[in-house]
Each structure stands twice: as C-alpha cells, then as structure tokens.
Amino acid sequence: MHSGRPLDAAIAAADRALRSVFAPARASRPPPASPGPEPPAPLSSAEREVSGALMRVNHTGELAAQALYHGQALFAREPRTRALLVQAAREEADHLAWCAARLDQLGARPSLLNPLWYLGSFMIGAGAAVCGDRVSLGFVTETERQVEGHLDGHLTRLPPSDTRSRAILATMRAEERAHGASAAAAGGMALPAPVRALMRRTAQVMTGTAYWI
C-alpha cells in the first residue's frame, strides 16, 4: 500500500469506489464528435437496442477499468508506477462518463451488477499489484490488449448509422492502446499464457452478462 496512513488510504479507496459506482460520471473532456454530418434519420428501435446493449457492456468495462487501476494504484510500490496508473484512471474516467452519457441518449440503462463488477475488478487489480510493479504493469498491458480486441469487435457490431457510439469507441480504443504501450515501456513483464487465458475468460463472463443484465 502506498506511503501514508493505511486507514487514510483505505478511506480514499472506498470514496473512489462509491463515486465510481453510484455518483454520476463526469468527464474532463467532451465526448468525441462523429465525423461528418449526423445521419438523416434516427436509429430504429432495433438499432437502438443493439447499440444500447453494446454501450452497456462498454460502460461496465470502463467501470471495471477504474476498479482495476484503483486497486493497482493503492498497492503500487513505486511512485512512478502509481502516477502512471492514476493518469490512466483519469482517462478511463472520461471513457466511463462518455459511455454513461451515450447510454442516456440511447434510452438504455447501465448493468445492474456494476457494484459486483467493481468489487471483483478492484480485488483483481490489488492482487496484481501485490505481486510487484512489473507484474502489475504487465497486467495493464495485457488487459488493454484484450480491451482493444473487444472494442474492435464492437465497432463491427454497431449499426452503421450509430456514428456517435462509433466515435466514442474509436477514441477509447486509441487511448487503451496508449495505456498498454506506456505500461510496457515502464517495465511491464509478459504474463504467462494461462494467466492471459484466465483474464480473457473472466472478461467474457463479465461482458456476456452485462450485455443483458
């Protein structure tokens, strides 16, 4: 756990958790604008349903990313590692707010299991950090690599006319890639294949459930 009184750190972590899960997400940057003019007609009901479900999954993923980074930062050993994680978490907070706003626009709701996703992800992030900064940074690199692939899949599944959601996901994908590259450059180690497979399976369970619930 980082320097300072453990109780203060625990209280700060609880405050971040409550804000992430229950407080309205606030972005420090405006959402990415879709290129070109808006589509001439609104999305159909079927298109809105698909986009809403996909953006609910992405909202859940960004909430989980907040939790991972919070857990990792809390137990980071080196100040530079903690600073990298905190900066990435700030950008992920923008992603969370963009997804939340888009859900509102689509008339869709976030996952009902978000408190569970946050808690589980926080514990995973804390566990990675306890194994050391190189492992924790390697976990960031692998997580962001898998998230990039997940976003690629969503960009192909979005209705072609949903340019607003597409612009958000494209920007998120570029920033996730940058987070992974920064973690690798900071000394993140390659994780063993079984760990990567377990991470992938865990993400599949979360995203598959969040699509519906």
Residue 25 included in any domain: no
112 touches 60 (CB < 8 A): no
Residue 186 included in any domain: yes
CATH number of 77's domain: 1.20.1260.10
Instruction: Pick the closest to residue 195 from 130, 151, 146 (CA basis).
Output: 146
Q: How many domains does the chain have?
A: 1
Instruction: Pick the closest to residue 69 from 47, 93, 100, 48 (CA basis).
Output: 93
Average pLDDT value over all residues in the chain? 85
DSSP character at residue 111:
-
Instruction: Pick the closest to residue 21 from 60, 75, 52 (CA basis).
Output: 60
For residues 82 and 39, what is the distance between their CA atoms, to the nearest angstrom? 43
| pLDDT tens, residue by residue, 119-140 | 888 999 999 999 999 999 999 9
Residue 24 included in any domain: no
Domain of residue 55: give its range. 6-18+46-212
125 touches 92 (CB < 8 A): no
The stretch 101-112 carries a mean pLDDT of 92
pLDDT at 48: 92
Residue 116 included in any domain: yes
pLDDT at 25: 67
For the record, the structure tokens of 149 come out as 């692939």
| pLDDT tens, residue by residue, 76-98 | 888 899 888 888 888 888 999 99
Residue 183 included in any domain: yes
Residue 41 included in any domain: no
| pLDDT tens, residue by residue, 41-68 | 688 999 999 999 999 999 999 888 888 8
Does residue 160 have a pLDDT over 80? yes
| pLDDT tens, residue by residue, 1-11 | 555 555 555 55
pTM, entire model? 0.84
Residue 36 included in any domain: no
* Residue showing tokens 């599944």: 157
Residue 104 included in any domain: yes
